[in-house]
Structure 1
Amino acid sequence: MANGVWHRGYGIEINLSLPDLGHPEFPGLLDEIMTSVSQRDPEMLECLAHHDGYTCESEAGGKSPWMFVRRGRTLGRRPLVAAHLPVTHKPTPAESDQHKATKERVVATALRHGLDAAAESPLGGPRGRSVADALVTGPDGIKIGWEIQYYHLGTSGVYQRSLKARGNGVTPLWVTKSTRAALIDRAPWARVDDMPWREIAGGREMLIRGGFRYLQTWRCTRSSVRQCLDNGGAGNCDGVHHDWFLPALCEPSKPAIHIEDLVLTSATGETLPVFVPHRHNPKSGRHMWVPVQDCTLWTDLDGHTRLPDVPVLEPEGSITFDERDLDRSCSAGQDNDGFRSDPRPERDLGQPTGGLTLPLLASRRPKGGPAGSLAVTDVERAALAATLNCPVWEIGPCAGCGQFIRRYGRDAPVACGGCRNQHG
């Protein structure tokens, strides 16, 4: 097995036995070269012997000079090794037609709503030349760069292109049809159904299956339809939980989001891209599009910023780097275990983020305040109102235990259910 390859995109040779692969200037390089061949350019990595102009045994045998990288297993070590691809995959006409039809549908939708839009639009600015599949500009100057990725792109490519778009004042919006796509949760994204290009062009309903969520708030009691976020689903904490859910998983369920909805609301600012770190692992998290009012409440509650400058990359696991000299010879004769490219695991499973819990607040009188006044912040009132599904001005203390309840308004009780049961 070879311990080196040539990267045709960057024009560099890669030493797989070095921790930084010999190129510390490319921090996402490891993630990129480990991307499944089905989701990247199959001709991205080249046999070093073939690149140097020497005989490539694989090509001489009627096969491919292109390479893939995987983890090997030798005497308890897990080195990175490169092997030849027996075949190369190119996008089919159907895949290209899907891409074109989706791009044209995004542009047509934007124009129909009076927005500025263009296909294959160049992005100028200090970050260099780049082209978005579709660039939609809202009335307040919000620019959304739609990137339709039905075929392949590694996580490093998503990282670089997203960074370049944001550097040019454009918010990227990646579209995929696969639950295994590397772009999921690497940048703002949306997943649609895999459908024939004729149905896309013909206006068939295109639902956003992943990448869009609503903020849900609920009181953690025995009667709650949701599990407790703090007790692993066992028991209840009587606190107030907040977490993000797909429209179909909301209580009550929210209307489905169509691609036309996202085209319009993302450009007008009614829908915002957010990154929510996982509660129990801040190094990972979810990218999602959310309603602006939900984003505002979450920011008030948790204080997290809307979008990080750098997408979060998942760790690749334990790899052994023995720091050997680069072997430039062709390894075709050593590829005796055949080509294996394990599919990436599903990334779009609709998992929650771990959410946020606020304690249930008891009413309290501020020090020196008038009788009947309550010490509660605007954020706490907003959270309680969302939990109780009522306006903030209807929040008040239970006449018995003092916990906040929906106290005012039509048919509102003066005491909570527990106090009413206890005292008859």
Structure 2
Amino acid sequence: MANVVWHKHFRILLDLTRDDLDHPEFPGLWDLIYATDRFYGRRGVPVSERDLQCGGVCRDMGVEAPMHLRMRGGRREAVHERREDEERHTAPMSDEHKAYQERILRAAHEGGFGGDSEVRTRVGRTWIQTDTLVEGADGRRIGWEVQLSTIDERGLRGVRARAGKAAKNGITPAWHTDRLAYAQRNDTHWTRSDRLPAHLIARNGDLRIVSGFRALDFWHCDTSALYPCPHGIRRCGKAHATAKPRDVFFDDMVRQTAAGTIVPIQFRAGKTVHRYWVTSADRDRLDDLDSDDIRLPPERETTPATGASRNRPTCQPATAPPTEQGPPTPDVPLTARPLLTALPLQPAAPAAETVPSDRETVPPALEQRETPTPQAADTTTGLPTDLITLQQAADAAHHKLQQLDDHHERDLQRRAWRQAAEAVQDAVTHYARTKRLNRYEVEARLRQLVRHSAR
């Protein structure tokens, strides 16, 4: 039995412990729903084809559990159709699940962050049930969901919807498991550790995350590259990023996600979009690379994702299966291996991205967003001087971005750079269409002219 029922047709949650079912705006709601359910019963309509489902534990776990209503001793009751759905409410939480909850809270408190377990957040007329909610820096909220080997994999449904609802309401979903089948799913950002007993999870040893965290390797697609071109051609000459598996300590993962130094990303590899956790420095470099895939973004000075630890490692009773998308990673702390392959510092070329809302950071020459009509032309290249001026302004904005260290100032200048880059892109497109030229060749010739003459 359950006290919270989900009405599929009305799309509302009904709280049977309250006289008005928590909907005072609908007088007589119980009489209507109960009479309808009894009518279905007299007509022989199966419970699975009625409008009522469990809105408590089953719904929180993504399981559709049909229910019917009854009155017992003057008390309202909602009864599950299947025994296994009823047992889901009475089955105690596993010791391993409790150990993970305790460890997440302990790691968060050691890092100076607050948190609580089994947090139920009201969202409109529904709730978000979170295993462990960590209150991080700058209002950041990390919702840890621990999914272990307690239910059959086929019963794990609705993960994407639950994660999307949490993200929509300001909670960053972080799902952790000890099962390879769950970690290979792509419906949210999963992390995985080896399957361990509760007493090993709860102790202070260094518990490792062996799947879900990535270090991004940035490289040029030329004849000396170690990776094949992701576009399927021999060598395209552009810059790419490859996600490489890395281990990270579980406690550091909890603290750094709360601090914002480890963040979730969606990484495209071919036609597939993967969901990984990376350092914030890698995320920023990936954003710069996506804005211009011709040159590599400059490498940023960054601290390792985890520091050295004096704790003894958590025991691994069984050989861990290889992590997805790559060979097994040797059991070496993250600090012993570099997060990023060293790359030469090179200025990144601008490209169209997003239009900034802060107009104060936009150079005055770019206040007019309409595409200019080229008039005068350069005598040596034949390119309009307006295009050259816009490209020079965009390069100057990017050069200024490289000189800044303050995070807020970099965000403002990045917006100004992308504003300038978009103006260049619009002008190049308009000129190429007008003259019936190859747009890529015009853009390459323009960048070569401006950047060669600036040296």
Q: What TM-score does the superposition give when structure 2 sets the normalisation length?
A: 0.46
The structure number with the bigger radius of gyration is 2
Which structure has more helix as a fraction of its residues?
Answer: 2
Tell which has more relative contact order, 1 or 2 (C-alpha 8 A, sep 6+): 1
Q: What TM-score does the superposition give when structure 1 sets the normalisation length?
A: 0.49
